[in-house]
A and B are shown apart, each in its own frame.
Chain A
Amino acid sequence: AQSVAQPEDQVNVAEGNPLTVKCTYSVSGNPYLFWYVQYPNRGLQFLLKYITGDNLVKGSYGFEAEFNKSQTSFHLKKPSALVSDSALYFCAVRDVYGNKLVFGAGTILRVKS
């Protein structure tokens, strides 16, 4: 079965520093991976996805993610964090039939000024 793991419950970073939010996956077949962000009391917003092609995927709000097949990872990155990036981030993988997403537990990102 498809699964994702987000090993960090919370990531703290200073404003202006680079940030990384980690995600590892387990799939049968090709991985189709997604990152979503959730701001307080809001729904999830799509950030980016990896389907095929370049291992570095660019998304919304300056975020990017690096796909690494050998390490089965899909880490979310941003070169310079903003306080407004503080939110809950979810990694997700598409199921084998293509109908559903399987989500990780989420990582809280706190950016301090």
Chain B
Amino acid sequence: NAGVTQTPKFQVLKTGQSMTLQCAQDMNHNSMYWYRQDPGMGLRLIYYSASEGTTDKGEVPNGYNVSRLNKREFSLRLESAAPSQTSVYFCATRISGDSNQPQHFGEGTRLSIL
């Protein structure tokens, strides 16, 4: 009963390196989300995908790209990492059709950029 699985759990990058964060879900949910969490700022939405084949920008999309590979998988890519992207990244999913249902979160990826 995995739910939402994020890989890797930890990563250290050098400035300018690229990196893809993976998210996979076995909940058969249509909507998927990527957030970043920074101290004192709560969670901020980077990108989301309301359904397979669609993606939309959130509050802080600059410096990131996403791919909704299929219904199960939603990846987040940093093309050229910057120290300002040091953060904890969370993937979340939600069943569509009822927007009042809660989101379900993965355990996070802790990313440090030196």
Contact with A along B19-46 (1 / 0, CB 8 A): 0000000000001010000001111110
Interface residues of chain A: helix, strand, loop or mixed (majority): loop
B105–A44 touching, CB < 8 Å: yes
With a cutoff of 8 Å between Cβ atoms, the chain A residues found around residue B41 in the complex are 105
B61 within 8 A of A: no
Stretch at the interface among A12-20, A66-74, A79-87, A95-103: A95-103
Query: How far, in whole Å, are A106 and B108 apart by their CA atoms in the complex?
Result: 17
Q: A100-B45, A105-B41 are in contact. Are A51 and B100 (CB under 8 A)?
A: yes
Query: How far, in whole Å, are A100 and B31 apart by their CA atoms in the complex?
Result: 10
B106–A46 touching, CB < 8 Å: no
A43–B102 touching, CB < 8 Å: no
Q: Indicate the size class of the contact surface on chain B.
A: 20 to 34
With a cutoff of 8 Å between Cβ atoms, the chain A residues found around residue B107 in the complex are 41-43
Q: Which residue of B lies closest to A47 (CB)?
A: B102
Question: What is B's interface to A at a CB cutoff of 8 Å?
Answer: 4, 31, 33, 40-45, 48, 50, 56, 58, 90, 92, 99-100, 102-108
Sample 11 A-B pairs with CB under 8 A, ordered by A number: A32-B100, A36-B102, A43-B108, A44-B43, A46-B103, A99-B48, A99-B56, A100-B33, A100-B58, A101-B45, A105-B40
